[in-house]
Structure 1
Amino acid sequence: MFAAYVTLTILASAFTAIAAFTYLTGHDYPKAQLDMKRLPHSWMPRLGTVLAAGSVGLLVGFAVPLVCTLASAGLVLYFVGALIAHLRVGSRNLVGWAVFFVTVVAELVVSLSYHGVW
């Protein structure tokens, strides 16, 4: 169980850190995503900060398990919001979203299994 916990935590942290980096550096892909979802570009730094905080929270969770659980839950909610944004504009291109969502949900489940519910 420990190996699965460490692997999924590092994988989820890496995925969200890369996404945060693209948002915080003003890469064209997040801009196109915001345009497609009809959201203002002023949200890019905020969304990037949330992703970065989640990524760091997952890693801090190795020392403080509660932080990992809270970061995982926060990232799950973030990606539920992303799904709502996709569906709101009729976007059915959800492969990228699904990869992120499944990864953070799996990390949350394994984290809760490894550390216990509280």
Structure 2
Amino acid sequence: MSVAFVVLTAIAAAMTAFSAVSVFIRAEWVVKPIADYGVPAGWLPWLGAAKAAGAVGLLVGLAVPVIGAIAAIGLVLYFAGAVVTVVRARWFSHVGFPLLYAAPVVAVLALT
């Protein structure tokens, strides 16, 4: 296991956990755009839980690599869905936000 892999995993997990907490506390700068994209408010706990599980899975993956790979795949699919949701809502200027969170996860998956 390389230092780059551990550092990228920690960064990806921290960013994903931050995103999950932002959803859980319903930070306005997160919740308002999600509502603008047409996502029902009832989905927020599930979206936050998916991100939190992915963050934990990435960290567990440092000890059990298959768990980390599964978590990374799940997060890549999650953020791909987020990109599709943003594009579908025609908020093209916001496409970069899910891609920003997806980038370190993709890097972790590539190094796995």
SS across alignment from 1:38:
coil
Unaligned runs of 5+ in 1: 112-118
Q: Is 1:14 equivalent to 2:14 in the alignment?
A: yes
User: Given the alignment of the two structures, is residue 44 of structure 1 paired with residue 41 of structure 2, yes or no?
Assistant: no
Provide the rounded CA distance (Å) in 1 between the counterparts of 2:74 and 2:53. 10
Match of 1:108 in 2: 109
Identify unmatched segments of 5+ residues in structure 2. none
Q: Distance in 2 between matches of 1:86 and 1:46?
A: 18
How many positions carry a matched residue from both structures? 111
| Range moving further from structure 2, 66-75 or 99-108 | 99-108
Residues in 2 aligned to 1:20 and 1:2: alpha-carbon distance in whole angstroms = 27
8 Å contact 1:30–1:44 — kept in the other structure? Answer: no
Task: List per-residue Cα deviations over 1:21-65 (Å, max 9, x = no partner).
Answer: 011112112211212211111111100000000000000111111
Say if 2:79 is the partner of 1:79. yes
Aligned AA (1:102): A
What is the distance in 1 between the residues matched to 2:101 and 2:31?
Answer: 18
- Secondary structure at 2:38's aligned position in 1? coil
What TM-score, normalized by structure 1, do the two folds share?
Answer: 0.89
Q: CA RMSD in A?
A: 1.1
Pairs within 5 Å for 1:90-101: 90-93=90-93, 94-101=95-102
Which of structure 1's runs of 4+ aligned residues deviate more than 2 A? none
